[in-house]
Amino acid sequence: ENRPIPEPGPNEVLLRMHSVGICGSDVHYWQHGRIGDFVVKDPMVLGHEASGTVVKVGSGVTHLKPGDRVAIEPGVPREMDEFCKSGRYNLSPTIFFCATPPDDGNLCRYYKHSASYCYKLPDNVTFEEGALIEPLSVGIHACKRAGVTLGSKVFVSGSGPIGLVNVIIAKMMGAAAVVVTDLSASRLQKAKEVGADFTIQVKNETPQEVASKVESVLGCMPEITVECTGVQACIQAGIYATRSGGTLVLVGLGPEMVTVPIVNAAVREVDIRGIFRYCNTWPVAISLLASKRINVKPLVTHRFPLEKALEAFETTKRGEGVKVMLKCDPTDQNP
């Protein structure tokens, strides 16, 4: 609250923040102070799912002006390395990323960011939708890596925010049938709401039993599995469930070491792919939102003003609702 308002550099813009979503990683840093090799050593501002209004532009910025509403891509490459040259800048080892130590996030009143990674929002796309482009981008990147196409049968493991955006994008990309598994009946209901064709509530089945249920409801084994939990048993189920010659994409991150039926995957030529965040997804997402081809509004279930950030984080930690959104601009009541 008491930090000075930053001054934008030549290629930066200063933003008055509007909507910032809370991600599971934000909660994890808050609770545990680290995710893998990323360790919080100093006080850090959280938040990386965000939109706001431009209030000042640097001398070199020509595509944005004060008053423009923008969505913020949180990952900004610091150098033009081999990964940037090949268009996979998300893999750049020196990338700046909001709310990943030691880089501050944007859950604050005013924030400065690289202008090239701020994208103007059309008038018919709300600030909240702009903030949701970040999780939506995970779905776009995962479904592209998975090769979802016309007629695909897709199994999405996990019905949290990331599972749900994968359902939305898989259907958008032409999937003929999407089945979702989760422990929670309410989350599976939300999956139905955003377009899932089938849902399976998992209780204490073995991974093989889960795979069998997936095949049963689809009428065949899915060519594509998108695993969004990071839980060992779910990864195992993902391998067993995927059709021979198909693809399993690992989106959820769990323990560093997991035991999986790798021989089963190998002899059936099941490709196992990882994803790390996303790249080149904001223009795609904005086009989809502006054309109303997708609807992400049902994802937001809770809203809090910035002053009640702790309450918002507690709500997320308890697993209530789906996406919790913080409002950083007290003067603006629009979503």
What pLDDT, in 10s, does the model give residues 73-105? Answer: 999 999 999 999 999 999 999 999 999 999 999
Check whether residue 43 and residue 162 sit in a common domain.
no
Count how many domains the chain has: 2
Q: What is the pLDDT of residue 2?
A: 65
Check whether residue 168 and residue 115 sit in a common domain.
no
Q: How far apart, in whole angstroms, are the C-alpha atoms of residue 306 and residue 296?
A: 22
Q: What is the pLDDT of residue 291?
A: 98
The answer to whether residue 125 sits within a structural domain is no
Domain of residue 194, residue span = 139-274
Q: CATH code at 201?
A: 3.40.50.720
Check whether residue 153 and residue 104 sit in a common domain.
no
Q: What is the pLDDT of residue 3?
A: 76
Q: Which residues are CB-neighbours of 286 under 8 A, at least 6 positions away?
A: 71, 119, 121, 122, 125, 133
Check whether residue 116 and residue 147 sit in a common domain.
no
Asked if pLDDT for residue 191 goes beyond 60, the answer is yes
Q: How far apart, in whole angstroms, are the C-alpha atoms of residue 75 and residue 90?
A: 7
Asked if pLDDT for residue 327 goes beyond 60, the answer is yes
What does residue 112 show for φ and ψ, rounded to 5 degrees?
A: -110, 145
The answer to whether residue 283 sits within a structural domain is no
The answer to whether residue 4 sits within a structural domain is no
Average pLDDT across the chain, whole number: 96
Taking the CA atoms of the chain, what radius of gyration do you get in angstroms? 20
Check whether residue 234 and residue 206 sit in a common domain.
yes
The answer to whether residue 46 sits within a structural domain is yes
Q: How far apart, in whole angstroms, are the C-alpha atoms of residue 86 and residue 281?
A: 15
Q: What is the pLDDT of residue 329?
A: 84
The answer to whether residue 261 sits within a structural domain is yes
Check whether residue 267 and residue 312 sit in a common domain.
no
Q: Check residues 320 and 148 and name the one with the higher pLDDT.
A: 148
Structure tokens at 86: 């090949």
Check whether residue 165 and residue 202 sit in a common domain.
yes
Q: What is the pLDDT of residue 333?
A: 57
Q: Which residues are CB-neighbours of 299 under 8 A, at least 6 positions away?
A: 132, 135, 161, 164, 165, 190, 194, 322, 323
